[in-house]
Chains A and B, each alone.
Chain A
């Protein structure tokens, strides 16, 4: 199955390279390399990172509603990036951008794990996440209001809803290394997460070091989601829907979901970003919709379905 998903990923990536923002089909090499390659690669990477970290968070927190967007990890990453970007730190030192993102994401995910350790129930954790999410969004709006560039406040749509427009090879070079490191860390957590699904005590009795699994989950999530949000803004719902779509096919075991979530997340966001670029070619509209709008339109109904299923 994973081999099939990898093949689909490659095909979608190739197709994505063929979709320009004004025409279908191939283009001169410089356009392919400088414009379409970074956009397509980032779409797959960011989606894969969100899908994978969603699957890991759902396993680690033992809560099926866990998602980097819903729990405010993406929002905190955006807040960190906004501060670093608009005050010119990333202009002076380019890697400051992903660093700002992953520091923000790290703070968010660390708070959630500490809170989860003491949370009386799964819904308390989700409520805390919603609070972090709201807090980060308003702090971001405040930061953009105070930012010294007059365009800043209008750019809140990018930081809240994401986008891959005008992303260059520089952005890819900045975001890819931390994201790949994070993914490598998260992909190795399978056995630990499987054990953890039996409960912390049972996992410990199986010789799994629960603390270290949770810590690695936090670090891996901060790296993938943080660096991703720094260059693509806050894209929601990918981490929520991907594991849910996959469970009927892959099974309930959290460890078994990881690789499949990585591929399906990448494919989903590649498709969504292609849709964003195709809309102005098919419909008479001047503006392209933000990327996060597409994923939210897909994800929100699934969230409602989940809520109905969970209701007694």
Chain B
């Protein structure tokens, strides 16, 4: 009987996951997922499920090659990670449980402007021991930002409208993108109805490209009457998470 139990335990641990390799990293947040793919793909034990969504993730295609995991402590432990990446506010109970089990957890604050993006890339690059790749990502982003000093004398007014009619107010990542693209953010970050937008039309309306699958929240951005306002589009994957790819949004909106 005891032998049977021991055997069973052995089989279960064998099923439990591959043998412990050095430096296996799990990411539980879309934003850290993308940084992990860009900085240290060879060390990925698992990414969050959102990493594969092409409307949300800049690295959706690369992410297909890696396993995904839900933010559940048990599922993550089974992967035997050495390091788990998360954010300060996401999956709090899961991260706390993992720490109690002796897993190293890195919680970062998500950056909201370009200097903070550079700091964030450096911080993660250091933790993943990929300082050179980090510097290369920053250099590539800065190359896309070149030419935008954000100091045009009369920048056109712009409203960046998000699904459900929310606008991007001061202090948001989109606000930093607009400033870098030499546009003046004319919205206060509150919800704006179609009627209010048309009553006070900005010089430029900034919208995300339509998602592959619709919702009422995103369909309202396609209100036919908005066609009267000059519109510039960006891919939401560039701005949902800040990252080196956020420079692409600036490039798309600058023109």
Which positions in A face B, CB cutoff 8 Å? 20-23, 27-28, 30-31, 34-36, 85-88, 90-91, 147-152, 154-155, 158, 165-166, 168-170, 286
For residue B194, CB closer than 8 A to chain A, the reply is yes
For residue B115, CB closer than 8 A to chain A, the reply is no
Chain B, interface SS category: helix
For residue B18, CB closer than 8 A to chain A, the reply is no
Q: Tell me whether B224 and A149 are in contact (CB under 8 A).
A: no
For residue B196, CB closer than 8 A to chain A, the reply is yes
Q: Which residue of B lies closest to A286 (CB)?
A: B191
- The list of the 5 closest CB pairs from A to B, nearest first, reads A34-B225, A148-B213, A151-B217, A149-B215, A151-B215
Cβ of A34 to closest chain B Cβ, rounded Å: 4
A20 CA to B199 CA in the complex, in Å? 11
Give chain A residues whose Cβ lies under 8 Å from the Cβ of B216: 85, 151, 155, 158, 166
Q: Tell me whether A166 and B194 are in contact (CB under 8 A).
A: yes
- Using A35-B195, A165-B193, A166-B193 as known contacts, list a sample of 9 further A-B pairs with CB atoms less than 8 Å apart, ordered by residue number in A: A21-B193, A22-B195, A88-B212, A90-B214, A148-B213, A155-B217, A165-B220, A166-B194, A166-B219
Give chain B residues whose Cβ lies under 8 Å from the Cβ of A36: 195
Q: Which of B213, B223, B228 contacts A166 (CB 8 A)?
A: B223
* Most chain A beta carbons < 10 A, residue from B199, B216, B218: B216
Which positions in B face A, CB cutoff 8 Å? 56, 163-165, 191, 193-196, 198-199, 211-220, 223-225, 228
Q: Which of A35, A147, A155, A168 contacts B213 (CB 8 A)?
A: A147
Q: Which of A21, A30, A169 contacts B196 (CB 8 A)?
A: A21
Give chain A residues whose Cβ lies under 8 Å from the Cβ of B212: 88, 148
* Most chain A beta carbons < 10 A, residue from B164, B218, B219: B219
Cβ of B48 to closest chain A Cβ, rounded Å: 13
Give chain B residues whose Cβ lies under 8 Å from the Cβ of A28: 198-199
Q: Tell me whether B217 and A22 are in contact (CB under 8 A).
A: no
Q: Tell me whether B215 and A155 are in contact (CB under 8 A).
A: yes
Cβ of B29 to closest chain A Cβ, rounded Å: 15
